[in-house]
Amino acid sequence: MSASLPRLALILTLLICVSAGSAWADPIDHPYVPGEVIIKFKSGASENAKSLILSDLGTTHIKGFGRIKSAHKRLGSLTVEQAIAMYENHPNVEFIEPNYILNMNELPDDTRFDELWGMNNTGQTGGTPGADISADEAWDVFIGNSNIVVGVIDTGVDYNHVDLVDNIWTNPGEIAGNGIDDDGNGYIDDIHGWDFVNADNDPMDDNGHGSHCSGTIGGVGNNGTGVAGVNWDVRIMALKFLSASGSGSTAGAIAAIEYATDMAVRYPGEVRLTSNSWGGGGFSDALRQAIADAGAVDMLFIAAAGNSSSNTDSSPHYPSSYDLDNIIAVAATDHNDELASFSSYGATTVDLAAPGVNILSTTPGNAYSSFSGTSMATPHVAGVAALTFGRFPAVSALDAKSLILIGADPLENLDGVVLTGARLNAFWPIAEPDSIPPAAVVDLARDQVGSNWIDVSWSATGDDGNSGTASRYDMRYSMAPITDLNWDSATLTNGEPDPGPPGTAESMRVAGLDFNTTYYVAVKVLDEFGNASPL
């Protein structure tokens, strides 16, 4: 429903936003790159104040992170510890932190298996039949969507591999080989992604880890060759920040995340998630902000829980342990549906488990190998997320996450070990699509009006018409009457409440409005499959 606001003529006052202080307070007890820091100034810091601080630190610029407004700097004569001690509590500094060293979360295994037990376990490897993700059942319903792009943030991808080549993403805004940054994203000839290790446009895998993860997500299916990924049809974006030795840094990870996030903004509805089989280092404000920024543009961040056999509720593993709604943290199970001996876990910090022991997948040079690790579990979940986005293109990131977590198979031995007490299932998130949208809101009304805001209220409808509880609200405002034709151009609001049962009195504040202006406000109700109510 659309509500006209003809008498909204306001004298606006500016609000001063006070930035919270840095959350980084840990001792530097994780490996980091010597002589490098990541720094972010508070929004009110003057250019002169910034220059003085950078001069005191003796920094040279390495790379800026435009989306999270921070920078990667090389120090002069100061150590990392000295630089942080000098400025972590400075009134103009939001955070200054080490450039932590990050590593892939994979354990090599020389044993090669001819069957993909994680997809369909018949007991072929001596395990328990049915201890799998039910991929065969999922494939009877849906095999993937070439419009969905998964950013694989890893050691690169062998984009020429016979089982991957047809599913490699090609940047539609770039012309190969002309030496020009055609799409203006700051990267020249980034055809299949980018190599943040060597700062070039060739993200070829020189380790094997990233290609292995990619094969699980999107190995070409039904081609008579090798393996099949969770998605037979999908697009893999190669974002290389881990070196041939399997190590990288916080700065490299942030650059890769920002690249994927920028592409999600450029191509909405296509770049929906990243797969992240890596971790280590201490708490990083910068990395957390980059992941949160991806969530703000409706992207999921699938993350390995780690291979230290530890409880991440008490011993956090980053990035999987950041308290962000768009993260799905993944533990590993074996072919008997038991938690892998190496897998980290956490009843509140790890969402679910997935197959991660002796997983066969693609490796460089048209080869195949079996690896173990939460690194191998993570792309199973990323694959199911991509399958869900492909099946239901209108579904939001958080609703896709909900479908994945609710659809997982409960296991007694995982109860109290991971949040869901369950192991991934590929079938249920894409099964039985709900085609009944919520009923329209018919009583959207204006309540109080402030200096630059308005309070609106309405009654909740349902998930299927007026039955059940809906998933979320999508409220927008415009200076013109809002219809289905101009819905996408209306401005999104923030802070919509979670829907209550039908008839619940709902309200929220629409802020950031202009002086002496007539506004129109409208709301749609959405269910977990992305079905939207009429206006």
**SS3 for 137?**
helix
Contacts of 406 (CB under 8 A, 6+ apart): 428
Distance CA 255, CA 270 (A): 20
Backbone angles phi, psi at 249, to 5 degrees: -140, 165
Distance CA 98, CA 291 (A): 18
Distance CA 141, CA 391 (A): 9
**SS3 for 416?**
coil
Mark whether 154 is an active-site residue.
yes
Mark whether 19 is an active-site residue.
no
Mark whether 192 is an active-site residue.
no
* Residue 231 contacts residue 52 (beta carbons within 8 Å): no
CA angle 338, 275, 135 (to 5 degrees): 50
Q: Which of 132, 154, 233, 293 is catalytic?
A: 154
By C-alpha distance, which of 266, 243, 277 is closest to 152? 277
**SS3 for 52?**
helix
Distance CA 438, CA 445 (A): 19
Q: Which of 209, 212, 335, 380 is catalytic?
A: 209
> What's the one-letter identity of residue 15?
L
Which CA distances in Å does 277 have to 152, 215, 229?
Answer: 9, 13, 16
Please state the separation of Cα 55 from the chain's center in Å. Answer: 35
Q: Which of 211, 375, 396, 471 is catalytic?
A: 375
List, in sequence order, every residue forming a beta bridge with 23; answer none if it has no partner.
Answer: none
Contacts of 442 (CB under 8 A, 6+ apart): 1, 459
Distance CA 528, CA 532 (A): 10
Contacts of 149 (CB under 8 A, 6+ apart): 169, 234, 235, 236, 237, 263, 267, 270, 271, 272
H-helix or E-strand containing 263? Answer: helix 250-266
Distance CA 201, CA 186 (A): 11
Residues annotated as catalytic are 154, 209, 375
